[in-house]
Structure 1
Amino acid sequence: MVKGVTLHKPYNNAQVFATSSAGMILVGMMISWGFPSASLPQMEQPDSDIHFTAEAASWFATVPFLMLIPGSFIGSSAYEWAGPRRTFLLLSLILCCSIMSMSLTGWTLVQEAGMAEILLLASRVVQGSAVAFLIPFVSVYTYEISDQYLRGTLTSVTEAFATSGFVLCYLAGCFLSWRTSAIVLPLVTLVPGFIGIFFSHESPLWLARIGKEEKASEILSVMRCTEEEAASDLKTARRDVGRACKWSESLQMLLKKSNALAVVLSSSLMVMKEISGFAVLSIYVVQIFQEAGVGLDPKWSSVVVGMARLACNVLGSFMLHNFRRRLIFVVGNTLTGLATAAIGTFFYLQSRGWDISHLTWLPLAALVVHMVGYAGGVGPCTWTASVEVLPGPVRSIGTGIFSTSYATAAFVISKSYPNIRDMIGLHGVFWMFSGGCIGYILLAIFFLPETKGKSLQDIEDYWENVTKKRNARVYV
């Protein structure tokens, strides 16, 4: 199949270019998620022409997570039906237009008709739907174009792109009006991503699954480091020809115990990630700093935290390339757990009227530590491991399921955050996040298989062996 073809060196341009192109689209996706952090504080100013109620502002911030619940599950089906490349091209345009449409609320006609708030919420629904469809594509596409030696590194790089989206929002909130940001940010992220995907290769494993083996072989010869790995990946994909391309057949494959166990684990990883408080900290970071009363301007405090997270994404790629997944999970969650516990203690002392003027540095320092643990370990490792543990026949639908699980957890936690904060206080919220980190450590230690350096076939064999052992215990 690839005999006589000279394969490229490990860090070939095809893998890097495709990952970067998908990453730029991911930056635009995260701009949609992070936009409320920069825009809501401006909208709440006395001279603002946007008049959200507290409930409407909460929906403005969290509705993309709500749309992600059904959308990501449907998007995983679209991956097999349409393929990632053409879907990337279509949805990135829709997302770009929907973000830019928010600037139309400044038009006199819209203001006089009293439609500004409705237009904002409607555009957020469209943004959420587009991002929901795209979420499975970014993870699976990056995974399937990468060879087994670079898979962890390149997949973790997508976390750096995601962080860049939030950082751009935080920076834009310091220098630009939110309407100007709605125009500039998608232009500098989604448009380059669209152009890059246009010139990138299709997923070779998806092509193999739909029976286009010759084209898949051609692309694998470019995107794999050795002839043996290209042959191995094509052999694994060949077994799944036609099995995961129809929705009904994907569901049937999901009923197989080995596949179901893998999907349950990947979904559990994503849910536990959100229980550590990432969505809340990303959306409400400026408000949290305002309540803490830190010495540094809250907007710039959010930039510092975002930049720390971005810098640590580089650390995360290094960690995934050199260390085992379980170790990364334990170390990362330990740091995030200690950080949220420290912030909880700060707000507890504040609520009890203690003099904490000498501790105003603590929230910022703790959130930086939190980002070191999250961005250097928990975040990239969760997204990477959640895809890595999925066998080929259910990788697409499994990604949709764990994305839906993630979205449900993120929406419930972020939407209920104001109510939970009022019930148990900010200290209770952060202590709750610390408890989530402990639970995540236990999940990683006792249930996560080691996937570093494993081939696609190794992963499938692992789950088959687990199922056989469980069945053997039942019969004994």
Structure 2
Amino acid sequence: MMATWGYPAAALPQWESEDSVIHLTTEQASWFASVTLMMCIPGSLISASIYEWLGPRKTMLAFTPILGLFFMAMALASWETVQEAGMAETILLTSRVIQSIIVALLIPPAWVYTYEICDQSVRGMMSSFFEIWSTVGYLLSYLAGCFLSWDLIALLLPIVILVPAFTGLLFSPESPLWLARVNRENEAKEILERVRCTENEVTADLEAVRSSQNGKASSACSESLSTFTKKSHLKATIASSLIFTANQLTGLATIAIYVVHIFNESGVGLSPSWSSVVTGVFRLVFSVIASFLLRGQSRRRMLFVGNTLTAFASAIMGTFFYLQSLGQDVSWLSWLPLSGLALYMVGYAGAVGPTCWTAALEVLPGPVRSVGFAIATTCYSITGFTLSRFFLDMKDTIGLHGVFWFFSCGSLVFIIMVLFYIPETYGKSTKEVAAYWENTSKPETDKNANVSEGHFQSNTCELQY
């Protein structure tokens, strides 16, 4: 899925060359790069209904082949007959829109499935693996752009990525928590006994679903939507949405899509394509490190440290482009663009990115996990689409230095939000998370009475060191 998001970084620079057979306008190129995030805005909400009806695994099996087909369809634009008919650009943009719709439908079930299939002790680490594979998708796009033509990339990437993924899903079980939610408890128990470490964990997971569902199936999305009448569920969904919105304010989606363009603008250091590969490698290495850190580290601490690094890295990148905009000689700082974005990837991939996806799921109680995560993903997409779609306009208006300073401020806003609103979810069961939101939604006089019932304190004004 993320290879489709990284594809513009490989294709757009090739289409901008003088001998290119593809001629996208600046407006078309901007849409081509950002439409994936735009389609996630309605698609994520629709996805919740589909995978609560079909199940997360079946949803992924149904739509993965379609994604592969329309990824490969972009290669048709290289055919001479298509170009003579003046249809090349239309095929590219149409294929891109359909890819984007499919990705929008696939993202929520992919994350929810990973979260629900895993044991609590490894749930954070395994959820963050999605960030690793996202990074692999981007990196493969960057690498392919150094060696292959855009049409060959469109043909090969789906085969390399989607075929193994689809095959793996064929041999994987359905989400046991989804099965329990739709009153298929025997099947759920059978799978839980295979993927949980102890019988106590099996019983606890089933009991958590029973208590939240009150014995009713929730396969219909309307059932999940009705739970938003509860203040506790609404507050949890807002927290999840804020995590995702702040994630995008740090600028990752924009930087990942326009990384080659950014290095082109710097005019120093390695070639833009290879510089993008180096930053992709940094992102991959530190995504792997973050996955193991998440197994034993506070979510709030990870977000605090990671955002501190991204804020600093964006600030120094902004300073470099500011000096450049003044016409000063920045050749002696030729190391700074690559080093700055590498440091940014250390902070984002080593903490912010993986932790965001994990924490955004962990703060959601079971009854609203499907719809709540879909709403949070929609907020993520709205913010990411707005920033990536208008990146070129922002650059022209406030300069590239202003864009990076904006991202630095976004990281600082994220830090403030972590300090004052987001609870610690590390080591907490889904039942404890639900109890926390129940407690914070009650009048002050009722809160102390529930301290002994298994909920945990948020300590929102101090980090848990």
Measured against the shorter chain, the TM-score band is: over 0.9
Listed one character per residue, the Cα deviations across residues 264-319 of structure 1 (whole Å, up to 9, x for unaligned) are 01001101010111111000000100110122011000000000000001111122
**Aligned mates of 1:272, 1:422 — CA distance in 2:** 24
**Aligned mates of 1:160, 1:131 — CA distance in 2:** 17
Selected match of 1:263 from 216, 223, 237: 237
**Aligned mates of 2:291, 2:306 — CA distance in 1:** 13
Counterpart position of 2:6:
34
**Aligned mates of 2:301, 2:82 — CA distance in 1:** 54
How far off is 1:461 after superposition?
0.9
How far off is 1:243 after superposition?
5.0
**Aligned mates of 1:453, 1:147 — CA distance in 2:** 12
Structure 1 position 178 matched with structure 2 position 154: no
Counterpart contact for 2:177–2:188, Cα < 8 Å? yes
How far off is 1:255 after superposition?
2.0
Q: Which amino acid is 1:273 matched to? A: N
1:470/1:46 Cα in 2 relative to 1: closer, same or farther (>3 Å)? farther
Counterpart contact for 1:243–1:393, Cα < 8 Å? no
How far off is 1:453 after superposition?
1.3
Structure 1 position 147 matched with structure 2 position 119: yes
Counterpart position of 2:455:
none
Counterpart position of 1:198:
170
Counterpart position of 2:30:
58
Structure 1 position 44 matched with structure 2 position 16: yes
User: What SS does the aligned partner of 2:442 have?
Assistant: helix
Structure 1 position 374 matched with structure 2 position 356: no
Mapping 1:233-244, distance limit 5 Å: 233-239=205-211, 240=213, 241-242=215-216, 244=218
Counterpart contact for 1:103–1:182, Cα < 8 Å? yes
**Aligned mates of 2:356, 2:103 — CA distance in 1:** 19
Selected match of 2:192 from 189, 203, 220: 220
TM-score by length of 1: 0.92
Structure 1 position 85 matched with structure 2 position 53: no
**Aligned mates of 2:24, 2:80 — CA distance in 1:** 18
Counterpart contact for 1:30–1:162, Cα < 8 Å? yes
**Aligned mates of 1:245, 1:90 — CA distance in 2:** 18
User: What SS does the aligned partner of 2:120 have?
Assistant: coil
Structure 1 position 397 matched with structure 2 position 371: yes
**Aligned mates of 1:173, 1:69 — CA distance in 2:** 28
User: What SS does the aligned partner of 1:321 have?
Assistant: coil
Q: Which amino acid is 1:208 matched to? A: A
Q: Which amino acid is 2:142 matched to? A: Y
User: What SS does the aligned partner of 2:341 have?
Assistant: helix
Counterpart position of 2:252:
278
Q: Which amino acid is 1:127 matched to? A: Q
- Percent identity for Structure 1 against Structure 2: 52
Counterpart position of 2:94:
122
Counterpart position of 1:410:
384
Selected match of 2:268 from 277, 294, 316: 294
User: What SS does the aligned partner of 1:450 have?
Assistant: coil
How far off is 1:244 after superposition?
3.2
Counterpart position of 1:421:
395
How far off is 1:242 after superposition?
3.6
1:343/1:210 Cα in 2 relative to 1: closer, same or farther (>3 Å)? same
Selected match of 1:107 from 79, 83, 95: 79
Counterpart contact for 2:287–2:354, Cα < 8 Å? yes
Counterpart contact for 2:318–2:405, Cα < 8 Å? yes
Counterpart position of 1:188:
160
How far off is 1:249 after superposition?
1.7
Counterpart contact for 1:294–1:364, Cα < 8 Å? no
**Aligned mates of 1:244, 1:274 — CA distance in 2:** 31
Q: Which amino acid is 2:402 matched to? A: G
Structure 1 position 441 matched with structure 2 position 415: yes
Structure 1 position 352 matched with structure 2 position 302: no
Selected match of 2:432 from 439, 455, 458: 458
Listed one character per residue, the Cα deviations across residues 413-472 of structure 1 (whole Å, up to 9, x for unaligned) are 100111111111011110011100000001111111111111111111111111114585
How far off is 1:108 after superposition?
2.3
How far off is 1:131 after superposition?
0.3
Root-mean-square deviation (Å)? 1.1
Q: Which amino acid is 2:323 matched to? A: L
1:355/1:135 Cα in 2 relative to 1: closer, same or farther (>3 Å)? same
Selected match of 2:221 from 247, 252, 257: 247
Counterpart position of 1:384:
358
Counterpart position of 2:104:
132
Counterpart contact for 1:290–1:298, Cα < 8 Å? yes
**Aligned mates of 2:445, 2:135 — CA distance in 1:** 43
Listed one character per residue, the Cα deviations across residues 8-34 of structure 1 (whole Å, up to 9, x for unaligned) are xxxxxxxxxxxxxxxxxxxxx001111
Counterpart contact for 1:243–1:250, Cα < 8 Å? no
User: What SS does the aligned partner of 1:468 have?
Assistant: coil
**Aligned mates of 1:472, 1:69 — CA distance in 2:** 38
Q: Which amino acid is 1:462 matched to? A: Y
Unaligned 5+ residue runs, structure 1? 1-28
**Aligned mates of 2:174, 2:280 — CA distance in 1:** 32
Residue correspondences, number: 445
User: What SS does the aligned partner of 1:149 have?
Assistant: helix
Counterpart position of 1:303:
277
Counterpart contact for 2:48–2:221, Cα < 8 Å? no
How far off is 1:106 after superposition?
1.5
Counterpart contact for 1:280–1:417, Cα < 8 Å? yes
**Aligned mates of 2:110, 2:372 — CA distance in 1:** 14
User: Mean Cα displacement is larger for which, 135-144 or 462-471?
Assistant: 462-471
How far off is 1:157 after superposition?
1.1
Unaligned 5+ residue runs, structure 2? 448-465
1:342/1:392 Cα in 2 relative to 1: closer, same or farther (>3 Å)? same
